[in-house]
Structure 1
């Protein structure tokens, strides 16, 4: 039963928020939209002193209301998508987000933030420069910079000029731009097989033995030089570590590696594999490097098959860390 304090629901909410702010520095109002935050702020600005009895009555009413609640729902499609996102397939999530936008509700920008870099780049290269200027203003800085620097120089210049127009954009116009870009993204062509053929071929050759890898690449060079170049860019093997891994990331890799597997991988003593092993050892602390060298010396004879299997496991770990954003591989250079 509501307490008859003579206060409006908004005033009661202001009292509760004020008490929570006093009690917990971590309380935020992020779940309220901008309009509700503004109304709450205005109500708090108009209020003055509240006596103890009124305060206690409001607290009691608030607690009684909480105890009577069995379950809460977001109350809108955006919020529902947020709590369901981990349980929906990507196709279902995309279809429901389009439904949200078609109904005139929801924020289109989260949909744009989730686009792949390739899709973002396609929009940046194909849509009106004014729209792209707004998009770059909304993207995370690193992604915006990556997209901008990949543009044609003349288009990049035009987008830079259009950036000045984003200073005074209204919330309504920002939302309309987001809707246009989201619809353009939905219209982008989608390949039946998402993984590029060159990437899949490169992934398979990563685990092939050196002779097979060399034979396949030689054949591809003769049959399709451009495809062969793309496959070479996708290949990442143990011998590539000195050219593709930052020295500062070596301790991170070693920390996650099984010790015995690492020792077998570092036991390489000839060719590019030996240079990769030395690169790893030389970018560790002196004490750790010396300990590993001593343990390698005590391993005895490691068969080529065991050494190759171990180097493959190192490569798998590095690729996983790169996919998870734990490290960044240096882009390969064309020979």
Structure 2
């Protein structure tokens, strides 16, 4: 972060990290115990990156926290029941459970949650010798970005088959889940619910593909197309791509832009259509937009692959923020992505 970081340069994550450093060990540990594995990792990394924050910024962070706390006080009682009721009414039972399982991990009915605490390489080494169907089941249980990292570490020749199998999944019945647990128990101790667990499906396969690199995505889609053209098209139709950002609301885009690396944004916009470029620049201050346009012009010609990778990285950030409930994304045709 550098020395004497001003308030406006602190992302919400870094503001949370500042608070954690002020809380003291016991209070900070209590907070961490209530976070998901991904949240613990992200917050921990942010805490490490906080080198020096001036007194005025500290005061602003604390003031902002207290204002938010005061606003929330008294509203949390019965919130889980209320949220589930509203989500179910708005989205239906299946979609509601999918959303709730993402924003409240403790409510998720899913197996082998201990995998969330392992890194991608450890998981890949754990499952690489298993049957492709077992590999697909395990990967489908992971957070989408982690699943993409694990998929990338598997042999290239098996990756398309794994994506096809994930896309063909709908739910794991108790007996199948029991078989999965038996395989995993040979390598670590874990327990999970015996109820049917909704994982996998075309949308899950698409979400995983959103987090892969462009070359890997194109290669896998080519192989899937050879076996099943309709399945390939279904996966592609459910993927969130950079151009879809144009249908998202300004507030969500503003939140996204604060979380995106400026160099990535310059590259991504070099290959964007004029309307999308204007939409994103319109979500910035006039000064920031002018500076970005100057950087784009100064950059000159760039390789298409560099543009694609930058757009992929921004899409991955958008999906993470969406999964965390920080933004709302609109997909193809303007429909909300859930």
Kindly indicate whether structure 1 or structure 2 has the higher relative contact order, using CA contacts under 8 Å at least 6 residues apart: 2
Which TM bucket (shorter chain)? 0.3 to 0.5
Query: What TM-score, normalized by structure 1, do the two folds share?
Result: 0.40
